[in-house]
Structure 1
Amino acid sequence: MSYDYTFDDLAVVMGTYNEEAAIGTVLDDIERVTDGRAEVVCVDGSSDRTPDIARERGARVVEQEPQGYGVAVKEAVLTPDRPVVVTTDCDDTYPMEALPEFLEFVNDGYDVVSGDRLYHGAEAMPAFNRAGNAAFALLASALCGRRVHDTTTGMRAYRRDLLHRITWTENTGLSAELLIRPLMRGYRVREVPIEYRERAGETKLDPLAGGAAIAKSIVKVCLEERRRQLG
């Protein structure tokens, strides 16, 4: 099945938390690449000027008490009414120039289009994080029975109806869950190599505690989906 979605059918969403150093650049890039036609939704728990900068650039800001990455991003992906939803991070690490390619794959019938940061080496990513992300991908591949290359990327396109059909349960591990559950339920998933840039601003995630939480989520979600398959 093919579709004829355009940027008028696209929403770009993100959870934002004290990203005033980068949010303006990210929103300007979305505006430039989509000719201002994409809807932008920020679910925000910031104490700095992030929400003000977002509103100044025309984004829809949903205020939320800080409760972690997954709580914000879950709210963000379920908020838009447009049929194609793209997640990104607000730290300027992801290339908005990839949006046309992502939309093209959705139009070709893919339900999820996932940006693979590791394909080109992700040299801007700290080596510890890079090794961890490669390990997450190997763990997920072994448990779900299909090779995946980047389970924790923050940039993906989804068909909106898929996002509302599945119950999302994870917080720190939501990014992996957003890939694994559709994959194990037979949705069409495509990984696409993307460039990954050095982040603007300080990271909020503790790599050790966050990594452990992500690995736990991968195991939990894969086992739940296996049980679901067995009926």
Structure 2
Amino acid sequence: MDKIAVLIPCYNEEKTIGKVIRDAKKALPEATIYVYNNNSKDRTAEIAEAEGAVVRNEYMQGKGNVIRRMFREIDALVYVMVDGDDTYPMESAPEMVDLVLNHNSDMVVGDRLSSTYYQENKRPFHNFGNNLVRGSINKLFGCNIRDIMTGFRAFSYEFVKTFPVLSKGFEIETEMTIHAVYNNMQIDNVVIDYRDRPEGSESKLNTYADGFKVLKTIARLYRSYKPFGFFSILAGLLAILSAIFFVPILQEYWATHLVPRIPTLIVCCFVMMAAVQSFFVGVLLSTMAINNRREFEMQLNMLQRHKETDYSDNEK
């Protein structure tokens, strides 16, 4: 087990990967640096190896797939994840590591949005998307995370080994945040300076396609983690829809004592039944979610003992 592991997922980052590795070594000289090459077609892997990083490959395309491989293969007391595009300053890494090692943090978020992101980032729809995602998650999950989509984070061993990676692409950061919030893990924010990609380095993000995937991920995780809230909203919408079509029928019945639109009345009844069913589905799934939380806490206790045993054996 490493004490500190720096994890760098990479896809075609030959312009910047060398500098990122050198900065990581300078900021965290005792860390082991891992570069996971995700089918790069340039010299990313070659440069990373020449700089002294441990280079491994993930052949399934997508950042989520790379992070799944990293978390599965590497054991460390603290993990620092940073993108290979040289947009994040590694000078902040020691503070993030200290929060995990000495202040019980499970996830430390490198907060770009509170510093230079809006000045450096030249893509206005990215700015809008970041604000939309941050506002949605903070509202739905009752938290105060300042930067949801940042690629610069530090994690505890317990977080990494309990995080079920389901996403394949860039929506992975959203999934990480919601996992930590829902399971009541300690989250800290460290304000960092952000710099845009250097000339010649191209972003792999698709503003609209990836943004839509992120919103789908938020909805999916809200349904899984907060089923009572999700299905209550669905029940409320169905009940309102049923009432909108039922009220004119009721008014006409009071006036004439006739029901001329029988098919509409039948549909309204079925829609209202679906609303009632949705509500009780939310109640049942909410009970199951509470049981899952209990099992998660037991898993955390087992991991804590496993970590202490492994690291003490390494020191011997």
TM-score (norm 2): 0.68
1:72 CA displacement:
1.2
How far apart are 1:198 and its partner, in Å? 1.0
Distance in 2 (CA, whole Å) between partners of 1:94 and 1:74 is: 22
Q: Which amino acid aligns with 1:104?
A: D
In structure 2, which of residues 77, 81, 86 is the aligned counterpart of residue 83 of structure 1? 77
State the SS of the aligned residue for 1:9.
strand
Aligned equivalents of 1:230 and 1:50: distance in 2?
Answer: 48
Secondary structure of the residue that 1:205 maps to in structure 2? coil
Output aligned runs, 1:125-144, within 5 Å. Answer: 125=121, 126-144=123-141
Q: Any idea what the Cα deviations from partners look like across 1:173-202, whole Å, max 9, x if unmatched?
A: 111111111111111111221111111300
Greater per-residue helix proportion? 2
Q: Does 1:215 align with 2:212?
A: no
- Distance in 2 (alpha carbons) for counterparts of 1:11 and 1:218: 29
Question: 1:223 Cα deviation (Å)?
Answer: 2.3
Q: Which residue of 2 aligns with 1:42?
A: 35
What is the DSSP-based 3-state SS (H/G/I as helix, E as strand, rest coil) of the residue aligned with 2:76? coil
Match of 1:167 among 164, 168, 174: 164
2:52 is paired with a residue whose SS is coil
1:77 and 1:85 in contact (8 A); partners too:
no
Structure 1 residues 134-191: Cα deviation after superposition (integer angstroms, max 9, x where no partner): 1110011111111222111101110122211231211221111111111111111112
TM alignment of 1:182-221, pairs within 5 A: 182-200=180-198, 201-221=201-221
Contact 2:80 2:97 in 1 (8 A): no
Note the C-alpha offset of 1:34. 1.5
Match in the other structure for 1:3 = none
Is residue 138–residue 149 contact of structure 1 (8 Å, CA) maintained in 2? no
Contact 1:41/1:80 (CA < 8 Å) preserved in 2?
no
2:78 counterpart letter in structure 1? V
For 1:26-37, list aligned pairs within 5 A.
Answer: 26-35=20-29, 37=30
Cα deviations by residue, 1:3-30 (Å, 9 ceiling, x for unpaired) = xxxxx61111021011000000100100
Of 16, 33, 36, 1:22 maps to 16
Note if contact 2:116-2:195 (Cα within 8 Å) is conserved in structure 1: no
Q: Deviation per CA, 1:45-67: give whole Å up to 9, x if none.
A: 21110001111112111112251
Aligned residues: 223
Shift of 1:208: 0.6
Q: CA shift at 1:121, angstroms?
A: 4.0
Structure 2 counterpart SS, 1:196 = coil
Q: Distance in 2 between matches of 1:14 and 1:150?
A: 19
Q: Distance in 1 between matches of 2:104 and 2:224?
A: 26
Q: Aligned with 2:167: secondary structure?
A: coil
Q: Name 2:262's counterpart in structure 1.
A: none
How far apart in 1 are the matches of 2:189 and 2:218? 18
> Where do 1:143-162 residues align within 5 Å?
143-162=140-159
* Alignment counterpart, residue 113 of structure 2, candidates 106, 118, 122: 118
- Partners of 1:130 and 1:147 lie apart in 2 by 18
Question: d(CA) in 2 for partners of 1:83 and 1:160?
Answer: 5
Asked if the contact 1:143–1:219 (Cα under 8 Å) also holds between the matched residues in 2, the reply is no
What is the CA distance between 1:93 and its match in structure 2? 0.3
3-state SS, counterpart of residue 75 of structure 2:
coil
Is the 1:84–1:158 contact (alpha carbons within 8 Å) kept by the matching residues of 2?
yes
SS at match of 2:18: helix
Q: Which has the higher contact order (CA 8 A, sep 6+)?
A: 1
Matches of 1:226 and 1:14, distance apart in 2: 32
Q: Which runs of 4+ in 1 moved over 4 A?
A: none
Gaps of 5+ in 2: 228-284, 289-316
Identity percentage of aligned residues = 31
How much is the aligned-residue C-alpha RMSD, in angstroms? 1.5
